[in-house]
Amino acid sequence: MNVVDALNADAGTLCVVGAGGKKTTLYALANRLERAVVTATVRIPIFDHHVDAVRVTDDPRGALADATYPLGLVPAREREDRYRGYDTETVAAIAEAHDGPVLVKADGARMREFKAPNEREPQLPAVADVVVPIASTHAVGRPLTDEVVHRPERVAACTDLELGDRITPAAVGQVLASTDGGLKAVPENATAIPLLNKVDDGEDEAVAREIAATIHEHADVPRVVLARMHDASVVDVI
């Protein structure tokens, strides 16, 4: 199964949350889908070289009229290294006006491997069709600290771990399966498809299978995708 089919990415509006591969996943999908739009409801690093063009505009629906794809849409450049995101209502309006897939970065993780959301996250538009909670298998075995994890205290609150404990496959699975974690605020009509990224070798795959088993134990999701998103390879679908 290819990554587009595994993540049901041509269904409409797909939002990525979590840590350990959100942007890589967005850009891989954008370049494998027809007429893809990439946008965000939170800050997003400059991504011009991953798409055909980025339009910085307060009229994103108007920007669709003469666009080439994949197209990036953002409201403003906040700093030299990043753009701001739109509010969720604007992203919903983009999705309703566009006749192709809309790919949305819906939370931040500061380049960490794993996270749990705070009270303001994620920023999901109500029209989301697919939500993809992401975690990196490379978080497993490392200590629950902010060197590896964005908001480690939130991960601890979703699991039996304490700060500084070794991160286990079960803990990653519990967070991804939790409505306080990877499944937080998923719209009622959206499908959640967890993605375990950085499955680079047999050891990573064994870890990912343990995580997937925990997700299925705690949550009703159609499948868990094991992948190496740096080259958009699906290792397995469980």
pLDDT higher than threshold 90 for residue 234:
yes
pLDDT in tens, 21-52: 999 999 999 999 999 999 999 999 999 999 99
* CB distance 237 to 6 below 8 Å: yes
Q: 40: burial class by Cβ within 10 Å (0-12, 13-18, 19+)?
A: buried
pLDDT in tens, 137-168: 999 999 999 999 999 999 999 999 999 999 99
Least confident among 56-60, 108-112, 123-127, 218-222: 108-112
Residue spans of beta strands (DSSP E) within the chain: 13-18, 37-40, 44-45, 53-56, 71-74, 77-79, 82-83, 102-105, 114-115, 130-136, 149-150, 191-192, 195-197, 225-228, 233-237
Number of folded domains that form the chain: 1
**Percent of the chain topping pLDDT 70:** 100
* CB distance 201 to 235 below 8 Å: no
CATH (domain of 170): 3.40.50
Nearest Cα to Cα of residue 26 among 102, 116, 98: 102
pLDDT higher than threshold 90 for residue 134:
yes
pLDDT higher than threshold 90 for residue 11:
no
Its domain, for residue 21, covers 3-237
Q: Mean of the per-residue pLDDT values for the chain? A: 97
Helix (H) or strand (E) holding 60: helix 60-63
- pTM for this predicted structure: 0.97
pLDDT higher than threshold 90 for residue 204:
yes
* Per-residue pLDDT band at 136 (split at 50, 70, 90): very high
Looking at per-residue pLDDT, the higher value among 11 and 94 belongs to 94
